Amino acid sequence: MYASLVFLLTLGLSLFFTDLVRRYALSRRIVDVPDIERKIHKQATPLLGGVAIYVSFTVVVLFLAFATQVLIGKDVSLKAVIGLTLAGFVLMIGGYLDDKFRLPPRAQIMWPILATIIIIMVGVGVKVITNPAGGLLDLEFLKIEILRFGGVPYYFTVVADIFTFLWLMGMMYTTKLLDGLDGLASGIGVIGSLIIFGLTQFTPFYQPTVGLLALVLAGAAAGFLWWNWHPAKIFLGEGGSLYIGFVLGVLSIISGAKIATALLVMGIPILDVAWVIIRRLFWDKKKITQGDNKHLHYRLLDIGLSHRQAVLLLYILTGIFGFTSLFFRTTGKVISLSLLLAFMALLASGLVSVNKNTPITK
């Protein structure tokens, strides 16, 4: 019962704070102007939406952590909550600066790097991963002591920390690049967090505290989605598009390194981002930071789907592959990932052939 109340509380806060942030962004002219071809919205739209998600999520999580006994425990430590709060705040600072001043890529990337370092420093990391052939792979076999504080040693676990860093950066930039259609990234955030919640309720993986965190994220993203649905009245902005992927990445770690689950949930956007990066580097011969209109969601518009139809189709595909993670163990998830890869290859080749010589839909 309290889980439902927590979701509804976060949802209500997010609805309220999103409107507040929207009004603030408009008053300060922190808006996204459709001044280049790949921007398909028709009028200047306020940014900073991620601030509303962050504030809603953080207020509820800190309340649960300090005023109740339902969150902090074996699976969710107080250090992790503090680290998540500080790292999110860093992303909001960087997001605000980018939304207002349009920072160059080198200045943009320092904020997610700093956020990732913070979460690693508080002890959140991928320590082991499941071997599809059986057993577990230990990622903490190589440790280097970097300092002692109060007699307590702090280590740089080379493989585990690098893996965690790359995982969180990858998740952040996946949702950042996914944020091209109204409601797409925020809706995927709702779906992903609900699937993680569902996974934590199964007896073999029963982790009610992690599930509670996932529900808080679902409520925060759902409240924002109300305002972000096409035609959007506010956009996530830089900080918000990064923050959704960041929290999903952290949740997949503290729920017991459910990397395969997160890959199934985010598989379609991850493979889309991978394809776009490869194409930009090897075919188009341009920087990967140079945006274009060749992402999967834009190609769906090219074949005649409406804005909402394209978003709903991606919701359905994400939900289907994510839902399979609730029933499969490691081997089944690997098979599902292989099928997802094959599906994306067929979809991409089909869309490329259909879209060849077809201009972007306005």
In terms of DSSP bridges, do strands 45-46 and 128-130 run parallel, antiparallel, or are they unpaired?
unpaired
Rounded distance between C-alpha atoms, residue 135 and residue 142, angstroms: 19
Is 50 exceeded by the pLDDT of residue 342? yes
Task: Summarize the confidence of residues 141-164 as an average pLDDT.
Answer: 82
Lowest mean pLDDT of 28-32, 297-301, 302-306, 334-338, name the range.
Answer: 334-338
Rounded distance between C-alpha atoms, residue 8 and residue 228, angstroms: 18
The Cα-based distances of 277 to 165, 283, 296 in angstroms read 19, 10, 13
Task: Let me know: does 92 contact 239? Beta carbons within 8 Å.
Answer: yes
Task: Summarize the confidence of residues 60-64 as an average pLDDT.
Answer: 98
Task: Summarize the confidence of residues 139-149 as an average pLDDT.
Answer: 80
- pLDDT score recorded for residue 357: 46
Q: Point out which residues pair with 143 in neighbouring strands.
A: 157
Task: Let me know: does 203 contact 39? Beta carbons within 8 Å.
Answer: no
Task: Summarize the confidence of residues 288-310 as an average pLDDT.
Answer: 76
- pLDDT score recorded for residue 361: 38
Give the CA-trace dihedral at 39, 185, 102, 290, to 10 degrees: -60
Q: What is the DSSP letter of 291?
A: -
pLDDT tens, residue by residue, 76-110 = 999 999 999 999 999 999 999 999 999 998 899 99
Domain boundaries, the chain: 2-355
Is 60 exceeded by the pLDDT of residue 223? yes
Is 60 exceeded by the pLDDT of residue 254? yes
DSSP 292-343: -S-SHHHHHHHTT--HHHHHHHHHHHHHHHHHHTTT--HHHHHHHHHHHHHH
**pLDDT confidence band for 360 (50 / 70 / 90):** very low
Is 90 exceeded by the pLDDT of residue 143? no
